[in-house]
Structure 1
Amino acid sequence: MMRIRALLLAGLIAIVPLTDAAAQSRGRDRDRDESRSQDRREAPRNYPGQGLRDEPRSSPRANPGDVARRVQSGRPGRMLGVQERGGDYVVRWEYPGGRVSDIQVDGRSGRVRGDD
Structure 2
Amino acid sequence: MRIRALLLAGLIAVVPLTDAAAQSRGRDRDRDEAQSQDRREQPRGYPGQGLRDAPRSAPRADPGDIARRVQSGRPGRMLGVQERGGDYVVRWEYPGGRVSDIQVDGRSGRVRGDD
Compute the TM-score of the two structures, normalised by the length of structure 1. Answer: 0.50
User: What is the SS of the residue equivalent to 2:57?
Assistant: coil
Where does the alignment leave 5 or more consecutive residues of structure 1 unmatched?
A: none
Alpha carbons 2:102, 2:111 under 8 Å: kept:
yes
User: How much does 1:26 deviate?
Assistant: 65
C-alpha spacing 1:47/1:14, structure 2 compared with 1 (3 Å): same
Alpha carbons 1:60, 1:87 under 8 Å: kept:
no
User: What is the SS of the residue equivalent to 2:112?
Assistant: strand
Q: Higher mean Cα deviation, 49-58 or 38-47?
A: 38-47
C-alpha spacing 1:29/1:110, structure 2 compared with 1 (3 Å): closer
C-alpha spacing 1:57/1:22, structure 2 compared with 1 (3 Å): same
C-alpha spacing 1:35/1:114, structure 2 compared with 1 (3 Å): closer
* Separation (CA, whole Å) in 1 of partners of 2:47 and 2:100: 46
User: How much does 1:44 deviate?
Assistant: 33
**RMSD, aligned α-carbons:** 11.1
Compute the TM-score of the two structures, normalised by the length of structure 2. Answer: 0.51
User: How much does 1:43 deviate?
Assistant: 36
- Write out per-residue CA displacement over residues 72-108 of structure 1, whole angstroms, 9 at most, x where no aligned residue: 0000000000000000000000000000000000000
Query: Which has more radius of gyration?
Result: 1
* Separation (CA, whole Å) in 2 of partners of 1:56 and 1:29: 39
User: What is the SS of the residue equivalent to 1:39?
Assistant: helix
User: How much does 1:57 deviate?
Assistant: 3.5
Q: What's the % identity of the aligned pairs?
A: 92
The number of equivalent residue pairs is 115
C-alpha spacing 1:12/1:51, structure 2 compared with 1 (3 Å): same
* Separation (CA, whole Å) in 2 of partners of 1:105 and 1:36: 41
